[in-house]
C-alpha cells in the first residue's frame, strides 16, 4: 500500500519496529512510549511471537519483581533488545545519565545510571533513542560514562549498541570501529542539518537515503490497535499523539 502522511512519532515507531527484526523478547524501560509502541507493532507483525515487556505497565509485562527480574532475565540471555537514552551520547556510543561537568561537582545532575551499564553489556541489541538531536546531547565526548559503548577485546561482552535513532536521523553502530554510520535522514531534514547538530564525527554512505515513511496499512495499525494498547502504559502520550485512550475519552 502507498505511503501516507504521518507524524514524527509514527515515523519513528515504524523505523524502530524494523530494527526489531529477529528479536524474540523486547524489553522497554520507563518513559519510552515511542519504543514501546514500536515493540507492540513488531509483536503485531509477528502474530504475537515477539514478547514485549513494558516496565511502565502492569498490563503490558509479566514481571513480578520489577527491575530485579529484568536483570535476571537479561543475565540468562532471555532479553534480546533493550532501549537506552542519555543526557549525553558521544560518537563512541558512550552514554551519560549522571550529569554535566566534572564529577562529582557537576553543575547539572540527572537521574543516574541505574542498571544501564549492566544491561548495555549483556543484552545483544541495545537501541539508543533520543528525541533531542543537538550538540548539547550528541557530544564529542560524554562528561561521565554511565555505560560504555565499547570494551577491550579481552572483556566478555555479548551486548552493546546497535543503532541510534533521533528526531533527525538513524545511525548504525560499527562495533569493530567503535563509531556510528549514518543510515538515513528523516523526511524534512538534511545531511547538513544532521552535521550541524552532531558534535561527533560519523561515517557516511555514498548516497544518504531518506528514512522510509510508514505504509498506509502500517499507519492504520499504529493509529488503531497499537495506539489503544500503548494507552495502557502511556495514557497522556496516546491522547496527545493519537487522540485515543482514557484521557482522550475524558477530554471528549
Report CA-CA distances (Å) from 59 to 53, 88, 125, 230: 9, 32, 24, 10
Closest to 74 (Cα-Cα) out of 57, 98, 55, 47: 55
Burial readout 89-121 (b: 16 or more C-beta within 10 A, e: otherwise): bbbbbbbbbbbbeeeeeeeeebeebeebebbbb
1 — pLDDT class (breaks 50, 70, 90): very low
For 4-36, write each residue's pLDDT tens digit: 578 999 999 999 999 999 999 999 988 899 999
Evaluate whether residue 220 is within a structural domain.
yes
Alpha carbon dihedral 89, 77, 81, 87, in 10-degree steps, equals -20
For 83-106, write each residue's pLDDT tens digit: 999 999 999 999 999 999 988 888
Evaluate whether residue 113 is within a structural domain.
yes
- Strand order of the β-sheet with 138-139 is 95-96, 88-90, 138-139
| CATH classification of the domain holding 208 | 3.40.1080.10
Query: What is the rounded CA–CA span in Å between residue 135 and residue 19?
Result: 25
Which residues are paired to 27 by β-bridges?
A: 53
Query: What is the rounded CA–CA span in Å between residue 219 and residue 83?
Result: 23
DSSP string, 132-170: --STTTEESS-SS-SB-S---TTS-----EEEEEESSEE
Count of domains in the chain? 1
Evaluate whether residue 78 is within a structural domain.
yes
Q: Where are the alpha helices (DSSP H) in the chain?
A: 8-19, 33-45, 66-75, 116-122, 191-196, 216-221, 227-230, 235-237, 246-251
The answer to whether residue 252 scores a pLDDT higher than 70 is no
Three state DSSP letters for 111-122: CCCCCHHHHHHH
The answer to whether residue 2 scores a pLDDT higher than 70 is no
Query: What is the rounded CA–CA span in Å between residue 39 and residue 54?
Result: 9
Domain that holds residue 173: 8-251
Evaluate whether residue 25 is within a structural domain.
yes
For 168-177, write each residue's pLDDT tens digit: 999 999 999 9
Evaluate whether residue 66 is within a structural domain.
yes
Check if the beta carbon of residue 13 is closer than 8 Å to that of residue 44. no
Evaluate whether residue 1 is within a structural domain.
no
Evaluate whether residue 2 is within a structural domain.
no
Evaluate whether residue 165 is within a structural domain.
yes
The answer to whether residue 231 scores a pLDDT higher than 80 is yes
Amino acid at each position: 500500500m502507498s505511503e501516507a502522511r504521518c507524524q514524527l512519532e509514527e515515523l519513528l515507531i515504524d523505523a524502530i519496529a524494523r530494527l526489531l527484526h529477529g528479536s524474540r523478547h523486547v524489553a522497554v524501560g520507563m518513559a519510552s512510549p515511542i519504543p514501546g509502541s514500536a515493540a507492540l507493532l513488531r509483536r503485531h507483525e509477528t502474530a504475537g511471537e515477539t514478547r514485549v515487556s513494558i516496565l511502565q505497565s502492569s498490563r503490558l509485562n509479566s514481571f513480578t519483581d520489577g527491575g530485579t527480574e529484568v536483570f535476571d532475565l537479561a543475565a540468562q540471555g532471555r532479553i534480546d533488545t533493550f532501549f537506552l537514552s542519555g543526557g549525553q551520547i558521544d560518537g563512541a556510543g558512550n552514554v551519560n545519565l549522571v550529569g554535566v561537568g566534572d564529577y562529582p561537582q557537576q553543575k547539572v545532575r540527572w537521574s543516574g545510571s541505574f542498571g544501564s551499564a549492566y544491561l548495555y553489556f549483556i543484552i545483544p541489541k541495545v537501541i539508543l533513542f533520543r528525541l533531542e538531536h543537538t550538540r548539547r546531547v550528541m557530544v564529542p565526548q560524554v562528561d561521565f560514562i554511565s555505560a560504555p559503548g565499547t570494551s577491550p577485546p579481552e572483556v566478555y561482552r555479548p551486548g552493546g549498541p546497535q543503532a541510534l535513532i533521533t528526531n533527525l536521523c538513524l545511525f548504525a553502530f560499527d562495533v569493530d570501529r567503535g563509531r556510528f554510520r549514518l543510515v538515513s535522514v528523516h523526511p524534512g531534514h538534511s545531511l547538513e542539518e544532521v552535521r550541524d547538530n552532531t558534535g561527533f564525527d560519523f561515517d557516511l554512505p555514498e548516497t544518504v537515503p531518506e528514512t522510509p515513511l510508514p505504509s498506509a496499512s502500517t499507519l492504520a495499525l499504529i493509529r488503531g490497535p497499537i495506539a489503544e494498547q500503548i494507552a495502557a502504559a502511556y495514557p497522556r502520550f496516546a491522547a496527545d499523539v493519537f487522540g485515543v485512550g482514557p484521557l482522550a475519552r475524558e477530554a471528549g
